[in-house]
Amino acid sequence: MSDLRFNRVAELYSRVRPTYPAEVYQRLREAVPVERFSTAVDIGCGAGQSLAGLAAIASHIIGIEPGDRLRAEAARAYPDAEIRDGTGESTGLPGASADLVTVATAFYWMDKSRVLAEVDRVLRAPGVFATYKYGVPVCIGPAEQVMERHMADHWAEHRSVRLIEYDDTADLMRRSGSFASVTSSEVPYVLPYPSTDGYVEFLCSTSYVSAFLATLDDPDDYVASLTRETRAAHGDGELQVRFDILMNIAVKRPG
């Protein structure tokens, strides 16, 4: 994965990006009859949002990330993990060295076919390969109307088609011939923000909002205005946002 768009906002990314619910990792562990994976590899680990959950189900964690600033954030936050420079297409790992490989909210930035070939090389049977990602976040309440308006007026032209096109991940997994089974599922996930300010910070870490901000002479003024508008719509209380997780879990075929 050579896409480094998030490296420029690594500190913000580390601070505001949500982690994943425990249910995600429970489903990974249930995919094969093991109490604990030996080695888990998280490709495109970013600042490490998936590493904490993997630590609960695997003895050794390796994060693969091409962005130097993101690697530094992951290493700082998860000192027990091994953080390595690499991409999904070329991890630099030995063959058959992992029994779990994951890609969290990043697979659509990669050359999927090449990553599947690399996973086939790195993953030993009957290991698990899983992709999981946040769905489009949706505010529960009137703040969502503010988000929809700003998306239409400002952000949509900066949103990659990869974020909105049909997700063919499960199809590619099946066609690869590497996996004995492929299942897709959704994990409901509602994340509470103590105030609207934290959610606006999250938005600034997304590819489309950060790209829009980069076009402005005074991005801080825009963010302050968006924050005031969102707070006026929602009020001062807790903001709940749906971040439902879409998962694809594949078990490698023996032999």
Q: Is the dihedral of CA 149, 141, 25, 184 positive or negative?
A: negative
Q: Do 101 and 5 fall into the same domain?
A: yes
pLDDT the model gives residue 7: 54
pLDDT value of residue 15: 81
**What integer pLDDT is reported at residue 8 of this predicted model?**
56
The answer to whether residues 182 and 233 belong to one domain is no
Are residues 150 and 88 part of one domain? Answer: no
Q: Are residues 211 and 252 in the same domain?
A: no
Q: Are 13 and 48 in contact (CB under 8 A)?
A: no
- For residues 129 and 112, the answer to whether their CB atoms sit within 8 Å is no
Q: Enter the pTM of the model.
A: 0.92
Query: Residue 81's domain spans which residues?
Result: 1-134+166-188+243-255
Looking at the fold, whether 56 and 170 belong to one and the same domain comes out as: yes
Residues 116, 3, single domain; the answer is yes
Tell me the CATH number at 53: 3.40.50.150
User: What is the model's pLDDT at position 1?
Assistant: 40
How many structural domains does the chain have?
2
Q: How far apart are the first and last CA of the chain?
A: 28
CB 235 within 8 A of CB 140: no
202 and 170 in a common domain: no
Please tell me the predicted confidence (pLDDT) of residue 12. 73
Cβ atoms < 10 Å from Cβ of 194: 11
Q: For the chain, which residues score pLDDT lower than 50?
A: 1-4
Tell me, yes or no, whether 179 and 200 share the same domain.
no
